């Protein structure tokens, strides 16, 4: 037996009382919700910033001179809902050694196009970098750093990252 849908005046098979009026070939189809966009619109800004945990770590605390330093950066969404944070540039996060972005004293050329850093619910994003214990002092020149204690830091690419708790730091010791 066939039934007519009064709204669309089309025939569909009678498959029971709980069959959806929108079939797979219907152009209206089933609609999906963009949960990340919804949570971005609904979640307060302060909550979104507190939801993201930023950590930086190294494989050792002490390194011999010239030994590469393995850096692990992790961003974790602590909430069971998707979170999206705006960043000031297409580079969503940066790392630094003693305040020099990506171990470089040469100012970076960064576009001023903001973008977003998106996280699924409870998502972890892990990145690995390797630092050769050198600082870039010119476009084509790198110099070794002195022995002693050095600070490695990671931050979201936002001017207010420190105020929002989106920064982490660790110290390493380079031995002679």
Per residue in 93-130, pLDDT (tens digit) is: 999 999 999 998 888 776 678 888 999 999 999 999 99
Cα–Cα distance between 70 and 83 in angstroms, integer?
Answer: 28
Per residue in 148-171, pLDDT (tens digit) is: 999 999 999 999 999 999 999 999
Tell me, yes or no, whether 76 lies in a domain.
Answer: yes
pTM for this prediction: 0.73
Tell me, yes or no, whether 20 lies in a domain.
Answer: no
Q: Are 123 and 117 in contact (CB under 8 A)?
A: no
Tell me, yes or no, whether 169 lies in a domain.
Answer: yes
Tell me, yes or no, whether 146 lies in a domain.
Answer: yes
Per residue in 38-59, pLDDT (tens digit) is: 666 667 677 777 899 999 999 9
Domain count within the chain: 1
Pairing of strands 167-175, 148-156: antiparallel
Q: Which of 17-21, 77-81, 130-134, 144-148 has the lowest mean pLDDT?
A: 17-21
What's the confidence (pLDDT) of residue 23?
46
Q: How many CA atoms lie within 13 A of 3 on its CB side?
A: 10
Tell me, yes or no, whether 5 lies in a domain.
Answer: no
Tell me, yes or no, whether 23 lies in a domain.
Answer: no
Q: Which domain holds residue 134?
A: 35-175
* Region 55-71 average pLDDT: 95
What's the confidence (pLDDT) of residue 142?
92
Tell me, yes or no, whether 7 lies in a domain.
Answer: no
What beta strand segments (E) does the chain contain?
2-5, 10-13, 52-58, 62-64, 69-77, 83-87, 93-97, 100-101, 115-119, 124-131, 134-138, 141-144, 148-156, 167-175
Per residue in 125-147, pLDDT (tens digit) is: 999 999 999 999 888 899 999 99
Tell me, yes or no, whether 64 lies in a domain.
Answer: yes
CATH classification at residue 170: 2.60.40.10
Of 124, 131, 129, 165, which Cα lies nearest the Cα of 150?
A: 131
């Amino acid at each position: 037996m066939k039934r007519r849908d009064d709204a669309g005046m089309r025939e569909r098979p009678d498959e029971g009382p709980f069959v959806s009026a929108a079939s797979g070939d219907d152009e209206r189809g089933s609609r999906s919700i963009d949960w990340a966009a919804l949570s971005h619109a609904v979640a307060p800004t302060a909550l979104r910033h507190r939801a993201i945990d930023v950590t930086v770590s190294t494989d050792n605390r002490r390194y011999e001179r010239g030994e590469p330093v393995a850096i692990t950066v992790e961003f974790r969404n602590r909430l069971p809902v998707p979170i999206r944070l705006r960043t000031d540039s297409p580079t969503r996060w940066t790392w630094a050694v003693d305040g020099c972005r990506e171990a470089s004293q040469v100012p970076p050329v960064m576009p001023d196009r903001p973008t977003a850093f998106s996280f699924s619910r409870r998502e972890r994003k892990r990145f690995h970098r390797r630092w050769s214990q050198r600082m870039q002092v010119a476009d084509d020149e790198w110099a070794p750093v002195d022995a002693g204690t050095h600070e490695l830091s990671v931050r979201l690419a936002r001017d207010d990252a420190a105020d929002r708790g989106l920064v982490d730091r660790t110290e390493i010791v380079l031995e002679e």
